């Protein structure tokens, strides 16, 4: 149905939006609440957000909150990503879904809920790219607990994809 260029472009745009809005929200929060004040999206934010603002929050690089263990962070990120990927499969991938017309809304709502729940504890990355882009673009890069943002989302997404494929997708 779609050629490789279309698929790659859609993936780039989706990942760009995830990083831009995710990291941008952290920077915006810091800007408004400060007492004195892919990767392409993170560099764009670095160029347009005031220097003191993005530096104060490492360009939105997610971090574990004090007293949240790596294991707890992996579980939070994994569960939130599980529901995001499950929603994606159930609304956008499954051709039998009656929810296809509102797939974007459902997926966006899943991202929002994941960020609201995991965000205060892990930064709510839900995707390795969301953690990787800001870490690369911030100078120096912030890599503490970065495995949380790879292991959790990849495991959660894998389990959701496996579950949906095994149980719900129509087999030939």
Instruction: Give per-residue pLDDT as tens, 15-35.
Output: 887 887 788 777 767 766 665
Residue 172 lies in a domain: no
Question: CATH number for the domain including 114?
Answer: 1.20.1080.10
Total number of domains constituting the chain: 1
pLDDT digits (tens, 9 = 90+) for 66-106: 889 999 999 999 999 999 999 999 999 998 889 999 999 99
Residue 31 lies in a domain: yes
Residue 144 lies in a domain: yes
Residue 123 lies in a domain: yes
Residue 75 lies in a domain: yes
Give pLDDT, residue 9. Answer: 84
3-class DSSP string for 103-172: HHHHHHHHHHHHHHHHHHHHCCCCCHHHHHHHHHHCCCCCCCCCCHHHHHHHHHHHHHHHHHHHHCCCCC
Domain extent, residue 25, equals 4-167
């Amino acid at each position: 149905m779609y050629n490789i260029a279309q698929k790659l472009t859609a993936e780039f745009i989706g990942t760009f939006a995830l990083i831009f809005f995710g990291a941008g929200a952290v920077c915006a929060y810091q800007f408004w609440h400060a007492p004195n004040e892919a990767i392409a999206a993170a560099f764009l934010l670095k160029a347009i957000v005031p220097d003191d603002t993005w530096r104060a929050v490492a360009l939105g690089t997610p971090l574990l909150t004090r007293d949240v263990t790596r294991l707890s962070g992996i579980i939070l990120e994994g569960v939130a990503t599980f529901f995001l990927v499950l929603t994606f499969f159930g609304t956008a991938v499954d051709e039998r879904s009656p929810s296809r017309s509102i797939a974007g809304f459902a997926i966006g709502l899943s991202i929002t809920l994941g960020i609201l729940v995991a965000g205060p504890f892990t930064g709510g990355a839900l995707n390795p790219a969301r953690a990787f882009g800001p870490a690369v673009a911030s100078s120096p890069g912030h890599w503490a607990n970065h495995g949380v943002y790879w292991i959790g989302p990849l495991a959660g997404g894998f389990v959701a994809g496996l579950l949906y494929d095994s149980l719900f997708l129509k087999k030939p």
